[in-house]
Chains A and B, each alone.
Chain A
Amino acid sequence: MGVIGRYMVAGGLLLAVWKVAALALSSHMLPAPEDALMAFGQAVKTPTFWRHFSASAYRVGCAMALAWLVAFPAGVLLGYHRQADRYLSPFVFLTYPIPKIVLLPVFLVLFGLGDAAKVFMIALIIGFQILVATRDGVQALDRKYVDSFRSLSPHTGALLRHVILPAALPHGFTALRIGTGTGIAVLFFVESFATAQGLGYFIMDAWGRFAYPQMFVGIIGMSLLGVLFYESFNYLERTVCAWKGHTTGRRDVRRAATGDLADTIQVYGRMIKFSHTIFALPFALAAVVLAHRTHPVTLHHLFWILAAMVGARSAAMGFNRIVDARYDRDNPRTAAREIPSGRLSMQAAVIFVVVSSLLFLLAAAMLSRLCLILAPPVLAVLFLYSYTKRFTALSHLYLGLAIALAPLGAWIAVTGRFDWPVMILCLALLTYIAGFDILYACQDTEFDRQAGLFSIPARWGPIVAFHVSALLHLTAFVFFFLIHLVFNMGAVYLAAVILIGSLLVVEHRLVRPHDLRQIQLAFFHVNSLIGIILFIGILTDILVYQ
């Protein structure tokens, strides 16, 4: 599937979700996608829209160019020049965790209310990312490439041109590409006041006038701007770093290297267990829909619940990575790796966790006081998961517990209090995730045993694990059914429960204790379907019967 195809599919899905959300909320705040698109079609024929669009494009474009021109060479210098790095890096890493956006007032004073302050603000934020990524990349370059080149030429200039620069470029470009999202977000922020130009202003202005379709014209315009920049950098990267695209050539790699790679993938597999949290999202949304019956949900709720989910999930995944990194270092095989670069990615991970946690706390604060009070214990529960697999085979249940906090949190966010019925939904999610995690852990049985990590398959073997998993899924099914009784659902939901039951049966038929080849299929298709069916079942049921 080409780029266009992928965008079409993603766009289609997005529109579908939007449509459903618009129907569910039936609020002026969220116009139907076709209305918004129609308004957008009208707007692109007006010079006004393009004036705002080009003002924004100009600011981001200048900022990106400035960030690149300063930060990329600086990153190369720090990565290459040990002496410079020793003296300058502390400054970089001291200032790196500070949210640069807080400097905006200073910038406004220094550079005035014109474009300069906005451009510098965006450039500063993206520049940091480029600087750190580039330095990291250059430092991680194997010394032997440098030695190999030195045997051909003693000139540092030539070394930079032929070795350091080509090695640094992909890292810089990746940072630039990823920085697009941040750049657009900051753009929105800096354009939301003290200017009458740009898409940020366009959105805020429409919002102030309660012109919601117009507001969405601005939002679509801004998304388009982001996609435009992102794809341009993507294209540039693929052209300038053509060699990067050829990694799927022949596989005559050294034995040792492939062994290493397989190990890394397995370690990584353990690390990303938290990817299961994605399956919690439909459950949380289902809780929102259920709560909506008694406590009307606003766009404000929805937005901050999603933000909380993203924050919590990122924080937990990042934390898990940090914990496992230490474990990596203790391992004699990986201990020899470049310590500086290891420490650097560690620093980056710490910052990532802090920022994500702050997002989670902010979202909780925006939701309610109760949510804010509950948020820190929730983070503690999530972080603790990373350790459970080291001392108990019940870590699967704990993962289920951690993930089941999502619908509970969403419920409390909307209703403002705890109610027993929502526990049924949480228990359904808990048992369902735990059951699946056991199946999934069967892949790592050998690895876990060697590494001394605890899991049910590692402790009692895959056959027992399959039985436990089946039992848990049976329990999950009972809870899914109980939701029907407790929440007075209708026939549509019952149909969804039956579908979920059959999917669980399919999942257990797809994988066998000694044949795990289908596990990825089970993972992606079946599990994403179960959550979505639950959500759609509940949503339609309520739309139909209430």
Chain B
Amino acid sequence: MIAVHQLSKTFNPEDGAVLDGLSFELPAGETLAVIGPSGCGKTTLLYILAGLSAASAGKVNIGGRRGRGHTAFILQDFGLFPWKTAAQNIALALELKGANAASRHKVAETLLTELGLEGLGQRYPVQLSGGQKQRVAIARALATEPDLILMDEPFSSLDALTREHLQNTMVDMWQRKGLGYIIVTHSVEEAVFLGRRIAVLTDRPTRVKALIDNPSFGTADLRFKNCFFDRIREVRRVMEG
């Protein structure tokens, strides 16, 4: 379970607050899509949730199996290290924990297969397509056995088809492993497809404008159903109004 309470962040006092008393809650294993105007502080929010930067005020609670929950972070373009092969990137978390080569190899192979990347383990990121790279990034996140995955516009530079494939993959992971995620996106369609809840943020100073319930998210052929488009319209109205 994730609880964000009155979270604020100010970089420079003269620029005013970026995040200004942001609050929301998310039950364990649920998924959240965050959508809001560009520059409103979505990346900043994820950095704070990932523990990479400190909040100016407020509280963040990420429950996990053991104490504070462990998060994995997937960035848009710079997630993978170009000097490591796909398999090395995936197994990096294990390497950092001191796992031996054999177990690293096993985990990397399993995850490569799981994400449809058989035979690509020895390639360097530059030798992979954009979609393949993000699959490797997902695999690397999974290898850390996180309680929560944080994604910052992970699919926005991909073509429409690849992007939908990867959205399906995320839902698939969620269904099979009960693994919750928070995805920041600027696409309303993506938010409606991937978020059990959709948090619409205001412009700076940023608060949660609305937390929309979206129980039908991620179901098969949702993209062809009327309720999908109804929900998209609803989110649009909230964003504009």
Contact = CB atoms under 8 A, between A and B. Distances in A.
Bound pair: A and B?
yes
Contact of A250 (B72, B78, B129): B129
A144 to B, nearest CB: 4
A46 interface: no
Interface in B64-102: 71-73, 75, 77-79, 81-85, 92-93, 96
B83 A243 contact: yes
Given A246-B124, A247-B126, A249-B124, A151 B78 contact: no
Interface residues of B, number: 29
Interface stretch (A160-168, A268-276, A452-460): A160-168
A250 B71 CA distance: 31
A150 B150 CA distance: 14
A153 interface: yes
A34 interface: no
A254 B144 CA distance: 28
A252 interface: yes
A148 B144 contact: no
Contacts of A374: none
A515 interface: no
Interface in A250-293: 250, 252-256
Contact of A241 (B72, B83, B85): B83
A137 to B, nearest CB: 12
A336 interface: no
B96 to A, nearest CB: 5
Contact of B92 (A162, A167, A242, A252): A162
B219 interface: no
B239 interface: no
A153 B82 CA distance: 18
A163 B84 CA distance: 10
Contacts, number: 74
B75 A243 contact: no
A250 B162 CA distance: 16
Interface string A305-342: 00000000000000000000000000000000000000
A145 B78 contact: yes
Contact of A163 (B73, B81, B144): B81
Contact of B83 (A150, A167, A254): A167
B124 A152 contact: no
Nearest to B50: A151
Given A247-B126, A249-B128, A151 B72 contact: yes
Contacts of B51: 151
A142 interface: yes
Interface string B108-142: 00000000000000011011111100000000000
Contact of A147 (B52, B81, B82, B123): B52
A148 B79 contact: yes
Given A162-B81, A243-B83, A148 B75 contact: yes
B75 A144 contact: yes
Interface in A49-83: none
B157 interface: yes
B124 A148 contact: no
Contact of A254 (B72, B77, B82, B127): B77
A254 B124 contact: no
Contacts of A246: 123-124, 126-127
Nearest to B92: A152
Nearest to B144: A152
A224 interface: no
Contacts of B77: 144, 254
B226 to A, nearest CB: 33
A149 B75 CA distance: 11
B52 A152 contact: no
Given A166-B81, A243-B126, A254-B77, 9 more contacts: A147-B52, A151-B52, A153-B93, A243-B82, A243-B124, A246-B123, A246-B124, A252-B130, A254-B130
Interface of A: 142, 144-145, 147-153, 155, 158, 162-163, 166-167, 241-243, 246-247, 249-250, 252-256
List of 8 A-B pairs having minimum Cβ-Cβ separation, nearest first: A249-B127, A144-B78, A151-B73, A166-B83, A252-B129, A252-B130, A243-B83, A243-B124
6 contacts: A167-B83, A243-B82, A250-B126, A252-B128, A254-B77, A254-B130
